[in-house]
Amino acid sequence: MDKFPYFCSRKPYNNHYMENNLIFLKLKPFIRQWLVHHFGDPVKFDAQSVLNAKIISVLTRGERDIECEGDTAVVIPYSKQKEPPSWCHVSQAGKKFIIDHIESIFLLNLWNEMSAMCSEDSKIQSAAYAWCEMHGIDIDYADIIRMRYYREKIKMLRKGIDLRAKKRNK
């Protein structure tokens, strides 16, 4: 007789699970490249992550997503409360919610690393090229990355917030 008769040997993240439980998001090309570089293709976020919790929170019962050209495939995380295959639909508002969170993480990553790379006398453009290479983004988008960083920096400085790292005076 087994010691643990109620043990479940289900493995939710096998290939069959991943192929059949996906949502498709329309992301900007450079954010898609960044996401795929860090989380794989299809995108699979770490277990117990905030992004997985957000995906689970917007899952509803309904039809599976249909992939369109240029969409980014994201694995629906396994959840006991919302077990697949019946919980596999995300509304347009839910997708927007997930995309907004992904973009905010992208901006935080961009800001933290670009502000460390850029000092007062360095060129933002060369830092943007280096940042794109570090994160698997085509160099064609380096100008967009530079503009996003610069706009965010100016927006904060206009409000009197200087988030750039300062050297400590001794």
Report pLDDT for 20. Answer: 66
Please, which pLDDT band fits residue 87 given cuts at 50, 70 and 90? confident
Per-chain mean pLDDT for the chain: 82
Q: What is the pLDDT of residue 170?
A: 55
**Which residue pairs, CB below 8 angstroms and at least 24 apart, start in 26-30?**
26/68, 26/70, 26/71, 26/72, 26/95, 26/99, 27/72, 27/99, 27/102, 29/70, 29/138, 29/141, 30/132, 30/137, 30/138, 30/141, 30/144, 30/145
The pLDDT of residue 3: 46
* Confidence category of residue 129, pLDDT binned at 50, 70, 90: very high
Q: Which residue has the tokens 């933290």?
A: 112
14/26: higher pLDDT = 26
- The whole model's pTM is what? 0.80
